[in-house]
Amino acid sequence: MNCEIIAVGSELLTPWRQDTNSLFLTEELNAVGVSVRFKTIVGDRRADLAGAVRTALGRTDILIVMGGLGPTEDDLSREAVAEALKMGLRRDGSLVAALSARFAARRMTMTDNNLKQADVIEGAVVLPNPNGTAPGQWMDTSFEGFRKLVMLIPGPPGECRPLFEEQCLPRLREVIPVRHIARRTLKATMIGESSADALLAPIYSTYPDVETTILAGNCEIQLQLACARATPEAAQARVDELAGKLEEALDEYVFASQGETLEQIVLYYLELKQATLAVAESCTGGMLGERITSVSGSSRSFLGGALVYSDALKTAFCGVALELLAEHGAVSTPVAEAMADGIRRHTGATFGMGITGIAGPGGGSDEKPVGRVYIALSDAYGTECSENNFRGDRQKVRQWATQKALDMLRRRMILYR
Amino acid sequence: MNCEIIAVGSELLTPWRQDTNSLFLTEELNAVGVSVRFKTIVGDRRADLAGAVRTALGRTDILIVMGGLGPTEDDLSREAVAEALKMGLRRDGSLVAALSARFAARRMTMTDNNLKQADVIEGAVVLPNPNGTAPGQWMDTSFEGFRKLVMLIPGPPGECRPLFEEQCLPRLREVIPVRHIARRTLKATMIGESSADALLAPIYSTYPDVETTILAGNCEIQLQLACARATPEAAQARVDELAGKLEEALDEYVFASQGETLEQIVLYYLELKQATLAVAESCTGGMLGERITSVSGSSRSFLGGALVYSDALKTAFCGVALELLAEHGAVSTPVAEAMADGIRRHTGATFGMGITGIAGPGGGSDEKPVGRVYIALSDAYGTECSENNFRGDRQKVRQWATQKALDMLRRRMILYR
């Protein structure tokens, strides 16, 4: 079955706001075998909305209208859907009572416009919304002789998402044929999208029943696999079989086989080895530490480190010799290595990492262009350093630098096995 | 005049991809007085797309079809728009020659499907696309007796955006009435959206000719002002007049009057005062340093600092006394102050900042719940500390902590004036 999602709200037609609920809804719908065929975004005008609803009912089986259920004059979804379906609205007594009670409990006066939220389209089931004042509505109805499922759900993410999961999905599952879908997400880094695809296409193309999507972004590649079967076990087995082959082909480039982040994987290995990490960051200015500490529980393995933006601090916190800085410059292999080694010794960590480079847009030269970043990794057995030339703007260069740093550490720990 | 944007591509109907070009296009369209009335997202099916084009032409004056211009079988925008307009396609000889030359220059063989990109709808003007193989198309045509402007533009952002600016906008400006629009963006922080609106609505509601939008997000509030007038000067004067009054009402909460980021403003004041900054971060793990160093040129004022995630490093890098840690705990006012003071003395910076807190989701207690963050600011005249209780998940608590830290520093520097 297929579906159209209409997101309602004039703010969604400005340059500053975007519907993101529909991504969540799409994932949930796909998981029960419903594909999203159209998405429409329409402002708070009743005629526009009623027209969009008619268009949608004319081309898909399921319609989800999101937003426009609040108490203001601009909230017109109930009226517009009723108009498109040529149905009436009735004011629901128990919803009026619930609204009154809600306002009374908060010692607030309920103005008349709030009563709109008690209006229910003829034949609709009211979907309770414990997170807000406007309930949702569910209709199993017909339009021009065809059966249609129509849902009205609130727009704020904190109301939309739980209401859809708790009220709409179970009703959808009752109506549509049962399919079981299994999914896997593999992630790889430091390999380009086209190189990965050249490697993988000959494999996944022999599994036409497994939907394979390659996404590139945030310095990594994601492989999304999905397969539908009559039983969950059969679906999972088929996805796992393809995942295993793709993982083998990608070899050391794969860092996650169940959708984990690179930070999570690095922390997982650190903990497994009871090892600790300290960092010395120059051009990334804290981004590496920030990424690692974004994971809850990172304090078990991450000691901290130093932001050695100035040369003086490279010496003070990492013991980088002044002569080294003078001879090679702050952006150089010897300085990166001295930073990694110094921060490791200074903190007593198992691993020390040092990053120094030219993030741009200024500061580049012919010899050391913007994007040149030295990343060093030190442990008791020695120090290695990579010279990198990252492309992109300042933020992109810094993102790539932290990604490469995390990946160097991951690879080092895998070799230890 | 009003417009519909149709984004074409099945990937835009998955949970993982979202059209973002339309936000850019909307801003450009608004600036010449065109409002976006509908946005539609449709997959790579010819019938779906032709239907969506007919629907759009039936409800708006201007139609922008974005994507689906590539060489593959899935790229169907040319065919679908021609079908909806009941027009033919002709293969353009000069475009075929240009494609052949492009492939020859790259020493690549051109396959037949590439020739699709030389197909032009009857009566359409070809819009050169120096950034890709598929040119855009512009039509000043009619549909069911009404004049319509129709544009086909490529989907990749690096092609879509320059082509729209260089080829479509000048043609639009020739066709639609001239209006001059002036804009201003004010930003404020550490004030809630509803408090700000209560303060500001009585002011901006007396300027109905200036479109005022309040947006909340990323720990700050943005006020977007826009006004159209016959001359640029008149528009600017009107926007500036309202901006001045709103700034006065928001007083110390406003940090930017021309859309600057908080990081940029802090660095601006640091440079103005020839002052330097060093940071000691615990729960934010580098996020404060990362935010500051995201601004190019930050090395002139930012020395660096320490990531003192472990207690031992709080002592080693900031000289926090062991007794202080034992007596008050790592998350406390005395420790935050000792971190700020210690990092300032250790680095010789004008200002030192210390952040220690409980980002969650674990680690909270009745006495010190998740979200409790102590932020201290130290300079030669003394040390101040704020106790905060931020709400939200781990990342949100950390974002608020860095925002508050930057704002404390901004306020301190303003008081110095």
Q: What percent of chain A has pLDDT over 70?
A: 100
The string of pLDDT tens digits covering residues A49-69 is: 999 999 999 999 999 999 999
> A223 has which bridge partners?
A186, A214
CB contact under 8 A, A284 and B290: yes
Residue A416's pLDDT band, with cuts at 50, 70 and 90, is low
Report the distance separating Cα B198 and Cα B194, nearest Å.
6
Residue A286's pLDDT band, with cuts at 50, 70 and 90, is very high
Report the distance separating Cα A258 and Cα B207, nearest Å.
54
CB contact under 8 A, B316 and A347: yes
Phi, psi of A147 (to 5 degrees): -70, 135
Domains of chain A: 2-175 (3.40.980.10), 180-256 (3.30.70.2860), 262-415 (3.90.950.20)
Residue matched to tokens 């908060």: A106
The string of pLDDT tens digits covering residues A346-355 is: 999 999 999 9
CA of A93 to nearest chain B CA: how many angstroms apart?
A: 31
Secondary structure tally for chain B: helices H, strands E: 14, 17
Residues of A in contact with B362 (CB under 8 A): 296-297
Q: Tell me if B280 sits within 8 A of B352, measured CB to CB.
A: yes
Render each residue's pLDDT in chain B as its tens digit; 417 residues.
899 999 999 989 999 899 999 999 999 999 888 999 999 999 999 999 999 999 999 999 999 999 999 888 889 999 999 999 999 999 999 999 998 998 888 888 888 888 999 999 999 999 999 988 889 999 999 999 999 999 999 999 999 999 999 999 999 999 988 778 888 999 999 998 888 888 999 999 999 999 898 888 889 999 999 998 888 899 999 999 999 999 999 999 999 999 999 999 999 999 999 999 999 999 999 999 999 999 999 999 999 999 999 999 999 999 999 999 999 999 999 999 999 999 999 999 999 999 999 999 999 999 999 999 999 999 999 999 999 999 989 999 999 999 999 999 999 999 764
Tokens of B159: 């092609």
pLDDT at B187: 97
Tokens of A37: 């065929």
Query: Could you say which residues from 45 to 64 on chain B have a Cβ atom under 8 Å away from some Cβ of chain A?
Result: 48, 51-52, 55, 59
Residues of A in contact with B18 (CB under 8 A): 18, 20, 23
Q: Of B294, B310, B263, B219, give the one whose Cα is nearest residue A293.
A: B310
Residues of B in contact with A283 (CB under 8 A): 293
Tokens of B339: 């971190």
Q: Tell me if B340 sits within 8 A of B373, measured CB to CB.
A: no
Q: Tell me if B213 sits within 8 A of A14, measured CB to CB.
A: yes
The string of pLDDT tens digits covering residues A63-97 is: 999 999 988 888 999 999 999 999 999 999 999 99
Residue B193 forms contact with A (CB below 8 Å):
no
Q: What is the DSSP string of A280-299?
A: EESTTTTHHHHHHHTSTTGG
Residue of A nearest to B19 (CA): A18
Report the distance separating Cα A113 and Cα A125, nearest Å.
22
CB contact under 8 A, A306 and B306: yes
Residue A23 forms contact with B (CB below 8 Å):
yes
3-state secondary structure B275-291: CCEEEEECCCCCHHHHH
HSE-CB of A142 using CA atoms within 13 angstroms: 4
Residues with Cβ within 8 Å of B380's Cβ and at least 6 positions away in sequence, in order, are B350
HSE-CB of B361 using CA atoms within 13 angstroms: 2
Q: What is the ipTM of this complex?
A: 0.85
CA of A122 to nearest chain B CA: how many angstroms apart?
A: 28
Which amino acid type is present at position A228? A
Tokens of B401: 């902590």
What global pTM score does this model have?
0.86
Q: In whole angstroms, how large is the CA radius of gyration of chain B?
A: 28
CB contact under 8 A, B309 and A293: yes
State yes or no: cis peptide before A128, omega within 30 of 0. no
pLDDT at A159 over 60: yes
- First CA to last CA distance, chain A: 48
Residue of A nearest to B28 (CA): A15
Query: Residue B233's CB: how many other CB atoms inside 10 A?
Result: 11
pLDDT at B416: 65
Residue matched to tokens 């544009």: B151
CB contact under 8 A, B38 and A40: yes
Residue A133's pLDDT band, with cuts at 50, 70 and 90, is confident
pLDDT at B415: 78
> What distances in angstroms separate CA A33 from CA A151, B48, B130, one per listed residue?
17, 20, 41
Report the distance separating Cα A185 and Cα A212, nearest Å.
10
CA angle in degrees (0–180, nearest 5) for B54-B55-B58: 85
Report the distance separating Cα A366 and Cα A107, nearest Å.
69
CB contact under 8 A, A39 and B36: no
Residues with Cβ within 8 Å of B403's Cβ and at least 6 positions away in sequence, in order, are B189, B190, B219, B220, B262
Query: Residue B258's CB: how many other CB atoms inside 10 A?
Result: 9
CA of A348 to nearest chain B CA: how many angstroms apart?
A: 10
The string of pLDDT tens digits covering residues A178-231 is: 778 899 999 999 998 888 888 999 999 999 999 898 888 889 999 999 998 888
Report the distance separating Cα B408 and Cα B277, nearest Å.
13
In the sheet that A254-256 helps form, which strands lie side by side, from edge to edge?
A: A210-217, A220-229, A180-188, A254-256
Nearest to A289 among B48, B302, B307 (CB): B307
pLDDT at B287: 98
